[in-house]
Amino acid sequence: MDRLSYSYYRRSSTITTVPVFLLKGSEKNASGENICKDYYAGGSPQPGRSFNASDYRFGYQGSEKDDEITSVTGSHYTTYFRELDTRLLRWWSLDPKSSATPWESPYMTMGGNPVWWNDPWGDSVDPSQVKKSDETSFNELETDIENKTGLDLTYTENEDGTGSWSYAKEKGFLGIKRAVVDKSTKTSRTARRDFKKAINSKQTLIVKPSSDGDLSSSGHYYENVIEISLNGVKSAITNTSSDLNKSTMGWAMTFFHEYSHTPISGYSARDPRQTMKNRYALGGAVKYANKIRRQLGEDYGQRLLYFVQPNSEYIPFSKAALNIILEGSTPSGSFICYDRF
């Protein structure tokens, strides 16, 4: 946390008296246009006391706004490590450096004192075993993650044979470094945020190939390990219907599905148990992956079953395909076929 120069005052009202921040002077956005915003303590913009707030990506303490969550400008901010809820003045996930401040909640922001402090930042993913096993699969995994997140990734190999990814950064507002994001194609904000979170974590996420002949990928519930079935991913790409994006269950989407299971993700998503009661259930990991698919575009569809149904070979990615599969018939599109896995 660093201290910034803010003026602090109280504004009296017939209803209440509230603390607010007033930035000294005005700011300029990337186009050189003046912008001005007054904030409540914690970063929530004051209604009627700002202009150009919705057009400019950055706001309080130079952090990037995440208005997609509530459609309220300035209600949430994305930082390198976490998501900030300015209305609650709380982070959504644990402080990756909480061991340094054991006396306070790991969800606390700005030390509970936004008048005095700011906290603009809010440490690796090791895919070396995939790279050693199959260089081509590793390259495809890296490229697909770049395509889904918009990040520019670099792999660095260590002397001990392990390795890690990092992403390119640039100087942003107030000189704070931010990720370089490719905006030429549609990407997922959720995937980008969570991949940055994994890279910046003090914990290490191990990404490795699953056992030979195993066509199922897995994310460990109690340790930060993802096992990716190289052959399984290739089969899923091959057996995706022509009307869907071939990567809807490809390298990156498999990674993020399994990532949501691991402790480092903060989601602890679980897959449903295979019982008659749960035969139509999706589970937390599928719902998380579907959120990413919605951000990527309609051609990714929405996975609507976790289990392959009895007497069927298909996973549906549309309601029409789901209804046809449940009737015991063969869908004409929006599916992934499992019979050739």
Reduce the DSSP state of residue 76 to 3 states and report it.
Answer: strand
Residue 75 lies in domain: 6-112
Structural domain contains residue 1: no
Identify whether residues 298 and 192 lie together within a single domain: yes
- Following CA atoms 228, 229, 235, 241 in sequence, which dihedral angle do they give, to the nearest 10 degrees? -30
Looking at residue 4, its pLDDT comes to: 38
85 and 133 part of one domain: no
Final residue of a structural domain among 90, 112, 134:
112
* Number of domains observed in the structure of the chain: 2
CB 6 within 8 A of CB 22: yes
Q: Is residue 280 situated within a structural domain? A: yes
Q: What is the pLDDT along the chain (341 residues), one digit of tens a residue?
A: 433 333 333 333 333 333 333 333 344 444 455 556 666 666 677 776 665 545 556 666 666 677 766 767 767 777 656 677 777 777 776 666 555 556 567 777 766 666 545 555 554 688 999 999 999 999 999 999 999 999 999 999 888 888 999 999 998 777 788 899 998 999 999 999 999 999 988 888 999 998 765 667 888 888 889 999 999 999 999 999 999 999 999 999 999 999 999 999 988 888 877 676 777 888 899 999 999 999 999 999 999 998 887 767 899 999 999 999 998 899 999 999 975 44
Burial of 226 (0-12, 13-18, 19+ CB in 10 A): buried
CB-based burial of residue 1 (10 Å sphere; 0-12 exposed, 13-18 middle, 19+ buried)?
Answer: middle
The pair phi, psi for residue 58, each rounded to 5°, is -115, 160
Residue 45 resides in a domain: yes
Domain co-membership, 105 together with 165: no
Shared domain for 301 and 153, answered yes or no, is yes
| Of 92, 112, 132, the domain-final residue | 112
Answer yes or no: is 176 within a domain. yes
Residues 228 and 324 in one domain: yes
Place of tokens 């869908």: 331
In a domain, 118, yes or no: no
pTM metric for this prediction: 0.64
185 and 92 in a common domain: no
Alpha helices of the chain — where are they, by DSSP H? 128-133, 135-149, 189-200, 230-238, 251-259, 284-296, 319-326
| Claim to verify: residue 128 and residue 188 sit in the same structural domain | yes
> Torsions phi, psi of 172, nearest 5?
-115, -150
Predicted local distance difference test score (pLDDT) of residue 123 = 43
* 282 part of a folded domain: yes
151 with 142: CB under 8 angstroms?
no
Q: Which residue, 112, 139, 160, sits at the end of a domain?
A: 112
- The answer to whether the Cα torsion of 127, 130, 132, 135 is positive or negative is negative
- The label of the residue with tokens 């459609």 reads 71
Q: Looking at the structure, do residues 64 and 139 belong to the same domain, yes or no? A: no
Give me the amino acid identity at 186.
K
Residues 302 and 157 in one domain: yes
State how far Cα 127 lies from the chain centre: 18
Evaluate whether residue 152 is within a structural domain. Answer: yes
Instruction: Please check whether residues 102 and 146 belong to one and the same domain.
Output: no
**57 in the same domain as 188:** no
Q: Do 323 and 227 share a structural domain? A: yes
Q: Is residue 119 part of a domain?
A: no
Write down the pLDDT at residue 35.
56
